[in-house]
Chains A and B, each alone.
Chain A
Amino acid sequence: DAGVIQSPRHEVTEMGQEVTLRCKPISGHNSLFWYRQTMMRGLELLIYFNNNVPIDDSGMPEDRFSAKMPNASFSTLKIQPSEPRDSAVYFCASSLQGSYTEAFFGQGTRLTVV
């Protein structure tokens, strides 16, 4: 298996633009997590899906952020409109079964909002 695949790897956008980050989890995994990593706040959990259903989105910072998982092999994280403080590395991770099994992380998307 190729592991968790994220795209794009790098994204530079202007403030106010819409940004869409993409994730393909490992086949057979039923849980998917979106994390944001910054120097100031570390690794923050944004949202957690189980069987394509959002279980907990309490970490989503604002209404500007939204996430979807239309099927078991694809998820998106959208920021609209983007702001400079959204600049961070966004990781997607998947696991076989919830939060009690090993999480496999994608290589991340480095987002820069100017």
Chain B
Amino acid sequence: QQPVQSPQAVILREGEDAVINCSSSKALYSVHWYRQKHGEAPVFLMILLKGGEQKGHEKISASFNEKKQQSSLYLTASQLSYSGTYFCGTVYGNKLVFGAGTILRVKS
């Protein structure tokens, strides 16, 4: 069991916006977002713990709709440094389980 992410991949030009979605078939109480650059470890972006909560990190923000069991990550005015694979993580039982990831590539 793992959350479902969409899209699988997205290509942007610098300055464009993107949205990455994460949904679960099970009840969600929290959503984690991480970014992994090629050859590196995943790095924490944010956790959303409350239904309807929104959080921000630089020009990256996220929303969490507990009732709909989904979260979205918003990347605004993308920069080259935003390139990488984005993972959402959800807690099932005691376990932090990650989605398959969304590959984001920002081109100049």
Contact = CB atoms under 8 A, between A and B. Distances in A.
A100 B93 contact: no
Interface of A: 33, 35, 42-43, 45, 48, 50, 55-56, 59, 91, 98-108
A106 B40 CA distance: 9
Contact of A105 (B43, B99, B101): B43
Interface string B27-71: 001101010000011111001010000000000000000000000
B91 interface: yes
A105 B87 CA distance: 13
Contacts of A98: 94
What's the dominant secondary structure at chain A's contact region? strand
Given A33-B96, A48-B96, 15 more contacts: A42-B2, A42-B99, A42-B101, A43-B98, A43-B101, A45-B98, A48-B94, A56-B93, A59-B95, A91-B41, A99-B95, A100-B29, A103-B89, A104-B44, A106-B41
Interface residues of B, number: 24
B12 interface: no
A55 B94 CA distance: 8
25 contacts: A35-B98, A42-B98, A42-B99, A42-B100, A42-B101, A43-B101, A45-B95, A45-B96, A48-B94, A48-B95, A48-B96, A55-B94, A98-B94, A99-B94, A99-B96, A100-B47, A100-B91, A101-B47, A102-B32, A102-B44, A103-B89, A105-B41, A106-B41, A107-B40, A108-B41
B43 A100 contact: no
A106 B96 CA distance: 16
Contact of B42 (A48, A101, A105): A105
Nearest to B90: A99
